[in-house]
Structure formats: C-alpha cells, structure tokens
Amino acid sequence: DAGVIQSPRHEVTEMGQEVTLRCKPISGHDYLFWYRQTMMRGLELLIYFNNNVPIDDSGMPEDRFSAKMPNASFSTLKIQPSEPRDSAVYFCASGPVTGLGSNTDTQYFGPGTRLTVL
C-alpha cells in the first residue's frame, strides 16, 4: 500500500482565496482524521470521519473550514476564504481503530500539506 496520500504537498495562496486540500486514506481503514500543526499549538485534531460520516468536527476553527468524505477513498478539507492565520501544515491520517486494545489501534499519517496564506 502507498500509505496515506495528500495533495498538494505545498500550497501558497493569497488571503481571501479558496483552498482545497485532498486526502486518499489507506484502503480498508474506517477512520479518517484531519489535523493542523503549527509551532505554537502543535498538532490539533480538526475533524474525523468514521465510515465516511463526520463524527466530531468540534476542532474545526471556524465556519470558513469544511470537510467532506464522499467515499471511502477520498476526503477534502476546504478553507474559504483563507486567511494568513490559516498558514500551517495540514495532515490527513487514517486508521483501523478496532477499539480492542491491540497495537493496530494507531493512525497512519500522510506527508502533510504545507499551506501558506499571504
């Protein structure tokens, strides 16, 4: 398996523009997570899906952020309009999460998308 795939790897945009980040999870994983990482706040969970259904989006900072998972192999995180304070690295992760206490209860991270909003 190629692992979690994210695109683009780098995105530079101007304030006010729409940004769409994409993620392809590992096949067979039921859970998909979107994280944001900054120097000041570290890694923060934005939203996660179980079987394509959003379960908890309490980490989404504002209404400008939205996420979708139309099928088991694709998810998007959209920021509209973007602002300079959105500049960060955005990670997508997927995992089986059996809840049975095994060592398969982990998340597999993609390489991230480095977003810069000017």
The binding site for other proteins (CB under 8 A) comprises 4, 31, 42-43, 45, 48, 50, 55-56, 59, 91, 93, 97-99, 101, 103, 105-112, 114
* Residue 50 C-beta: closest distance to other proteins, Å: 5
How far apart are CB 51 and other proteins at their closest, in Å?
A: 10
Q: Strand, helix or coil at 75?
A: strand
Burial code (b: 16+ CB inside 10 Å, e: under 16) for 70-98 equals eebeebebebeebeeebbbbbbbbbbbbe
**Of the two residues 2 and 80, which places its CB atom closer to other proteins in the complex?**
2
- Residue 88 or residue 93: which is nearer to other proteins going by CB? 93
Local structure of 96: helix, strand or coil: coil
Decide: 46 and 36 in contact? Cβ < 8 Å. Answer: yes
81 versus 97: smaller Cβ distance to other proteins: 97
Tell me the sheet residues that pair with 68.
76
CB of 74 vs other proteins, minimal distance in Å: 18
